Amino acid sequence: MKPKKLIALMLVLALGILVVAGCGSGDKGGTNNTDVSTNAGNDNTGTDNSGTDNSGNDNSGNDSASAGDDLAEGPDTNNGRPYNLNPVKYDTRDDKYLTGINATKLPITEDDVTITLWRGFTSTVMQGLDESEFFKELEKRTGVKVEFLYPPVGQEVDNFNLRISSDDLPHIFSTPPDYPGGYPKAIQDGVYLELTPYYDKGLMPNIKWLRENYEEIDRDIVDDEGRMNFFPMIDIVPSHPWSGLWVRGDWLEELGLDVPETIEDWDNMLRAMKEAKGIAPLGLNITSWYGVATNYMFASSYDVGYEWINKDGKVAYGPIEPGFKDFLAKMNEWYQEGLIDPDFATRDTDSYNANIASGKIGAAGLAYGEMGQIKVTGQNEDPNFKWIPVPMPTSYEGQVIKLRQDNSTVRGDREFFTAKLVDDGLDEIAVRWKDYWYSQDGGDLASYGPEGVSYVWNEEGEYEWIYPALENDEGLDFWTLYPLFKLHNWGYLRNSRAYEFEPEVHQCIELWAQQGADWVMPDNISHTPEESTELANIMTDINTYRDEMTLKFIMGQEPLSKFEDFVETIKGMGIDRAIEIKQAALDRYYNR
């Protein structure tokens, strides 16, 4: 163990800094709702959002008497919080922050029980998830062992499909790829389990308490018919954006420039950086969690997104909106002037981040979880290296930004239970085991790791990380090391403050949250199996065409005079029908 820096949690709470440990899950731009960190510790693949999570209040079933017997200590009616919690940890919580109860009797089983769990995994700090201090402690507490099944890196979709077609199912799929027709179809096909019967039977007392005490959770954890189908991530702290725009603050100071607030400011800043540094200063990305598809970089400056947008209850497809042409025109202008990285179209995450850390880029879209490692690397070469968050620029007088990266309380990181649990007689044990992840103690274990192993509460009531050290790990930041002891993108009751943040992260969260997300599509709308199939048949080709043409327009391989042809082609591919399907799903969501 080696001491790490203190996070003055109580001070942070007092300041009201709302932190979501994101970089991942939860974009509402139509991509997978998974907030992912690109650091080496990341173990994410993608989330099945094809049916999408759902809402509607499921009040049809009440917990049985046996569920009441499982309750440890109930909530304190004097302050609305559980009275069995450590007051050092929780007395400073504001009422708007979620909390939970401890309603699970441990151990869950004294028999020799092993659950198989499929999940994409890649890491440079451990060989497998069985090395995680979280899973070691979880087994000690619950008595349930986990056997991890890892698909080959880069072949997650193929491996998932092969397991389905060959009926070689794990007990649990964690953040799996999309099932054809969405997860409702997977339930119809007998692959996934519907969880409502287990909820009605009283096997989820912790989730029951959360649903009964938080309306948003009750709405979003079920589908339009009130059925519970998966175990999602639930954020304790109201979520703020985790991806947005950054610029080199030290370069702004050096060049005598103010923080850019308009597109005209960006014109001047990028040109000044190019002239002073001899580089193409803008790191542009389109489809990743740090690009246009997630944080709307520059697209929202023209009142559009890269995918679906919700214009005051009316669904629109961003790329066929008039503002998308204006967005493309500006990107093409910058590209032709040499202001955009000429290799932007082919860069992967590693080379993108390496470009930023090495000083070859002066402005970029970025998830805040990546800033720590970039800062460590960059300051090794240049002690003045400093990135600061900046707002989304406006393109006209009086514009109010309505699109940015945003998250719901019920996030898109999900675990799906399969029929194999029933075949092996482990379904009820697995449900009780998973429900423990939504208790206060289980959520804290997943959020922080084991107390005394990864953290302690010091005499000042401050949270102190003492997470395990690796040999020669001085060049690795928290976001690279956290998989050794805690979880990130899984289904559990997550404390979004349980991370080590650079000061810039607190700044970016406050800054980005000042702009609106009014037109962002809700995470948790759902589609019927028939809608999911039809939507996939339409949108697969449309999105491929959109991706190809977007790059061609930006790079000048197609003139913008053909934008109207681009729109008509997309309409001919069935976008109007797709909009109808999305509109029906959005209407059902609002009527839950």
Q: What is the pLDDT of residues 100-154, one digit of tens each?
A: 899 999 999 999 999 999 999 999 899 999 999 999 999 999 999 999 999 999 9
Taking only the tens place, the pLDDT of each residue in 355-374 is 999 999 999 999 887 888 89
When mean pLDDT is compared across 16-20, 123-127, 277-281, the lowest value belongs to 16-20
Judge whether residue 35 has pLDDT over 70.
no
Tokens at residue 533, please?
A: 């199939």
Domain ranges of the chain: 6-240+408-513, 243-404+527-590
Mean confidence (pLDDT) of the chain = 84
At residue 473, the pLDDT reads: 62
Q: Tally helices (H) and strands (E) across the chain.
A: 23, 17
Predicted TM-score (pTM) of this structure: 0.76
The CATH-assigned architecture of domain 6-240+408-513 is 3-Layer(aba) Sandwich (3.40)
Taking only the tens place, the pLDDT of each residue in 551-581 is 999 999 999 999 999 999 999 999 999 999 9
Give the model's confidence band at 457: pLDDT under 50 very low, under 70 low, under 90 confident, else very high.
confident
Assigned CATH for 243-404+527-590 = 3.40.190.10
Judge whether residue 417 has pLDDT over 80.
yes
Can 6-240+408-513 and 243-404+527-590 be said to share one CATH topology? yes
The whole-number average pLDDT for the span 373-397 is 94
When mean pLDDT is compared across 56-65, 98-107, 179-188, the lowest value belongs to 56-65
Q: Tokens 């109930």 — which residue?
A: 74
At residue 29, the pLDDT reads: 32
When mean pLDDT is compared across 239-243, 299-303, 499-503, the lowest value belongs to 499-503
The whole-number average pLDDT for the span 252-272 is 98
> What is d(CA 453, CA 462) in angstroms, rounded to the nearest whole number?
16
Judge whether residue 416 has pLDDT over 80.
yes
Taking only the tens place, the pLDDT of each residue in 539-551 is 999 999 999 999 9
Taking only the tens place, the pLDDT of each residue in 308-349 is 999 999 999 999 999 999 999 999 999 999 999 999 999 998
Give the model's confidence band at 205: pLDDT under 50 very low, under 70 low, under 90 confident, else very high.
very high
Query: What is the strand order of the sheet 463-465 is part of?
Result: 6-7, 463-465, 455-457
CA distances for 26 relative to 39, 282, 413, 420, 580, angstroms? 17, 25, 8, 29, 24
Judge whether residue 19 has pLDDT over 60.
no
The whole-number average pLDDT for the span 524-548 is 95
> What is d(CA 416, CA 194) in angstroms, rounded to the nearest whole number?
9
When mean pLDDT is compared across 183-197, 238-252, 462-476, the lowest value belongs to 462-476
> What is d(CA 57, CA 324) in angstroms, rounded to the nearest whole number?
37
**Other beta carbons less than 10 A from residue 459's beta carbon:** 7
Judge whether residue 27 has pLDDT over 80.
no
In one letter, which amino acid is 106? L
At residue 480, the pLDDT reads: 84
When mean pLDDT is compared across 79-83, 179-183, 445-449, the lowest value belongs to 79-83
Judge whether residue 293 has pLDDT over 90.
no
pLDDT: which is higher, 72 or 542:
542
DSSP 352-380: HHHHHHTTS-SEEEEEGGGHHHHHHHHHH
DSSP 172-188: EEESPPPPTTHHHHHHH
First to last CA, the chain: 49
pLDDT: which is higher, 206 or 61:
206
Relative to beta strand 113-118, strand 144-149 is parallel
